[in-house]
Amino acid sequence: MTETKMEIDDSLYSRQRYVLGDSAMHKMASSSVLVYGAGGVGVEIAKNVVLAGIKSVTIQDPKVSSTHDLGTQFFLRETDVQSGKNRAEATAPHLVELNPYVSVMTKTQALTCESDLSYMTSYQCVILTECSLSVQQYVNKFCRSVSPQIKFLSCDVYGIFGSAFADFGDNFEICDATGEEPQDVFVSDITKDGDGVVTCLDQRLHGLETGDRVTFREVKGMVELNGQEFTVKVINSYTFSIGDTTQFSKYVEGGIITQVKVHHTVSYLPLESQLLEPTILTPDLCKFDVPPVLHVAYLSLHKYQEKYGHLPKAWDDNHASAFIAVAKDVNNAMKNKLDDLNENLLLTLSRCCSGCLAPLCAVFGGIVAQELLKALTGKFTPLNQWLHLDASEVVPQDQLVDIKQFAPRGDRYDALRICVGDARCQMLANTNLFMVGCGAIGCEMLKNYALLGISCTSGKVTITDNDLIEKSNLNRQFLFRPHHIQKPKSTTAAGAALEINKDMHIEAQQHKVGPLTEETVYSDSFFEGQNIIVNALDNVEARRYMDGRCVTNQRALMESGTMGTKGHVQVIVPHLTESYTSQQDPKDEDFPYCTVKSFPATLEHCIQWARDKFEECFVQNAQLFNKFMETHPNLAEVSEQLINGVSIDGGVKVSKVLASRPSSWPECVAFARIRFEKYFNHKAKQLLHAFPADKVLEDGALFWASPKRPPTPVEFDPNEEMHLLFVRTTARLYANIYRIKFEAHDTSEEAVRAVLASVAVPEFAPKNKRIVTDETVSKEDAASEEVTMDCVGAAGFRIKKVLQAAKHTVTSPLNPLDFEKDDDSNGHIDFIASTTNLRAQMYSIDQGDRLKIKKIAGRIVPAIATTTAAVSGLVTIEMIKVLARAPMEHLKNCFLNLALPLMLLSEPGPVQKTVLREGLSVTIWDKWEIKGSKDFTLQDFLNQCKSKFGFEASSIVQGVKIVFMPFMPGHMKRLTMLMTKLLKPVSGQKYVDLIVSFDGDNGEDVPGPPVRYYF
């Protein structure tokens, strides 16, 4: 893929660019990779690499397609098996469809220890799967022998066990170890002593680690620090030392610290050196001692295959015993011999190793593909050097299980059957599953479902998503193709899943899950008909809603999400674990209104101001105008009322919209130019008029002290690109909302400059206007004050003047805009970017690049296919366990960050119990029930509460309606009323859910669990 093509088709890579950055993307665009082995894990790696957008991928595989492959290789079809097609050649066309800018080639020769490897010199990285250990060592030595060294990765999945190895050579340079964007932190003090202790302003976390490098700017007094780099020694979360500052001037005030990304070089050992003395990542917090055992198992599988010519036969105890003997020999040869070989685990691995768990392939496919991107770009910290992971908990643990059910049957589910047995295969085939969302995670999940044969007998997969496919989706939502753009995600994804496995029972819907569909589509009875619920969502609000529905209906929920290289998996099981809402997500930081309005200190403040201006000018004002005109069509009457001092809601703003309404393109340009003056010149002058640069507060401190920055008026220059971009874009957007036609040539720089030459710009005149400086004052409170200060009568005269001078229809409806961040042709991001940087210039804040501003303003979540694949695999593994009713200790939540790389698997948080009284406790999963009748009164309900639960009910609430509260007027008279009259049942439902509080032993209200009352 050429650089030009990448720039032209940036919409395809937009989310990924936020993860990797332009430099890494360009390196990838000139890199070639070889993936050997087109089996389950090989195709996962290749798929993710092609989606990422490297220059070329070669798939090498000597094997022909088999029925066994259909359980893990989602690009193979039954026709490929029937025709005996080579796996690489059958896979390549599907990879080409994923990304037209990636060149996909194939090779069909086998790799042996005698192969001529000279062809590998054209690749920057080689990835081996399904290779013997001797071939891996042979290729690894060759990769190290050439200059520059070829990066080497190997990966395999054996049944319910996977392994990956990385060797990036003797001197691998890491340019960005974490990928985290450096944050500016303001300084409140720097000591002048041997330690040079820096304290952050307002006790803000600095987020640094000892050894990090930082640079300073805008320090007053101790100016020697500005522009210099220092190594940090962390003291606590708010302070750190930079070393001896005794030779510097005394610190006065201000200063901003920024972490410096430091390149560093790491050295890797060859595979041969890492076999008997490995460096292994430990992913599972509950299984610290397992990774070394898995490493012995990995070496033993290769040793066994080398000795006997095949892997241990599935569930054959003779083969298992022989494998254990091999493992003991391998352990004896290890540099650090294990005291406990965990033979039970080794037996499980040997019994399952000839199978393959498809979701585990997804996990390693995502992880290894990300390691490949690190190898090509130097972005993020590579694996050092082994990763071993098992999913042994999916294997039935019952010692009495019939081993015949694990025997292969010659169908597409053999790879799965060997791992989990036929009973669990049938369990999956009969599962009713509801998944919300068909985006990136949803696509990966559907692929996993198809491979596992979920809902292929009597069950059904129901999916819903009300979104349409966009071009930017194609980079990570791999079931979609360019010809699917603007088609529904759900139906398209369902069709693609059926191509993988035609036997799936799947229903695609386009409903939005929420209160509006709760009674008609996704009712309690619908949830009760599901075996499991899966979230594939991208927002917290929807997650919380789904969590509440699952708690109400006591259904297990599989929750997951990604953000760039980070991902999470949460297993939610009724009566066992906490729910999603049991833990509070950290709230997004809200900037004080006065900071954004008048005293920005960071680029983020400027972006927020620009975003607010877009909403105010091009959305809210237009909506207000249209609504006002519908309510008050007679402007003449409105004018008279305002002149007479009668305040009308919205009247003042509407009068301003009318007075400034342009009627032609040149007037739009003039209006935009005047806006420039108001925003970036007059605003600064007004602030300095109200608060002069030398203004001192009552305590003697300067008003314009850090982090406050005194503004500098920006003088408009039509030859400045940013100035002209603001005017051109603002004029376009005003023309759009006022429905004014213009031609493309009207927006050219020359045409706009010609119009600007005759624009009269008002001179600055100071206003007696209160400027909010209190950080506790909200935007709404400030706005209400501003309205009361505005003269209502002046608004009336303003409207009257407009009506008298109007030569065209000034009351015609406006066209409010919908902010769209992904369409670069609409000018929305151009407005945000130019407005942001002009405001930053006005306050002497470092300006931002367009990509960063777009990400923040559009609240774009960075995304990359590698993380999505890994997370979807982990979720699916946990889903198998939940459906099989695995005990709590077998379930795993996960947090991962592929950038570091970090994977933390841990047992889910247990459900918290609330003690109502001694001997009686409840959890969020509990629901009490009361059976009523047509003659059941409120008093009967209260009596039942007392007799069944042992409490006197102190209040009863249905939704937002208070049904009974004794101290409220008239409520005691309700005791004799029928429950059918007091409650509002949902149509078709025979029950209602009530919130009942009880009188506790100490006289205080005790909130009980929901009470389901059956009529």
CB distance 34 to 60 below 8 Å: yes
What is d(CA 496, CA 960) in angstroms, rounded to the nearest whole number? 43
Residues 6+ apart with CB under 8 A from 191: 197, 245, 251
Residue 190: burial class (beta carbons within 10 Å; 0-12, 13-18, 19+): buried
Residue 887 CB neighbours (<10 A): 10
CB distance 848 to 338 below 8 Å: no
CB distance 431 to 484 below 8 Å: no
Give me the catalytic one of 356, 594, 606, 668. Answer: 594
What SS3 string covers 690-735? HCCCCCECCCCCECCCCCCCCCCCCCCCCCCHHHHHHHHHHHHHHH
User: Which stretches does DSSP call E strand in 69-222?
Assistant: 103-107, 125-128, 151-158, 161-167, 172-174, 185-190, 197-200, 213-220
Residues 6+ apart with CB under 8 A from 541: none
DSSP 8-state secondary structure symbol assigned to residue 510: -
- Written as one letter, the residue type at 468 is L
- 770: Cα separation from own chain's centroid: 41
Scored b (16 or more CB within 10 A) or e, 909-944 reads eebeeeebeeeeebbbbbebebebeeebbbebbbeb
CB distance 726 to 831 below 8 Å: yes
Q: Hey, which residues does 103 pair with through a beta bridge?
A: 56
DSSP 8-state secondary structure symbol assigned to residue 880: H
Q: Hey, which residues does 254 pair with through a beta bridge?
A: 219
Scored b (16 or more CB within 10 A) or e, 849-881 reads eebbbbbbbbebebbbbbbbbbbbbbbbbbbbb
Check if 550 is active-site: no
Residue 985: burial class (beta carbons within 10 Å; 0-12, 13-18, 19+): middle
Residues 6+ apart with CB under 8 A from 551: 574, 579, 924, 925
Torsion angle of C-alpha atoms 620, 626, 628, 631, degrees rounded to 10: -140
What is d(CA 28, CA 17) in angstroms, rounded to the nearest whole number? 12
Residues 6+ apart with CB under 8 A from 884: 394, 396, 420, 424, 427
- Identify whether 1007 is preceded by a cis peptide bond (ω within 30 of 0): no
Residue 245, φ and ψ in degrees, nearest 5: -120, 15
Task: From 424, 423, 406, select the one nearest 415 (Cα to Cα).
Answer: 406
DSSP β-ladder status, 460-464 and 432-436: parallel
Residue 63 CB neighbours (<10 A): 15
Q: Hey, which residues does 559 pair with through a beta bridge?
A: 570
Q: Hey, which residues does 264 pair with through a beta bridge?
A: 174
Residues 6+ apart with CB under 8 A from 38: 46, 59, 61, 63, 73, 87, 88, 90, 91
Report the sign of the C-alpha dihedral through residues 42, 47, 53, 58, in that order.
positive
- Written as one letter, the residue type at 445 is M
Residue 660, φ and ψ in degrees, nearest 5: -105, 5
Residue 340 CB neighbours (<10 A): 8
Catalytically active residues, by annotation: 594
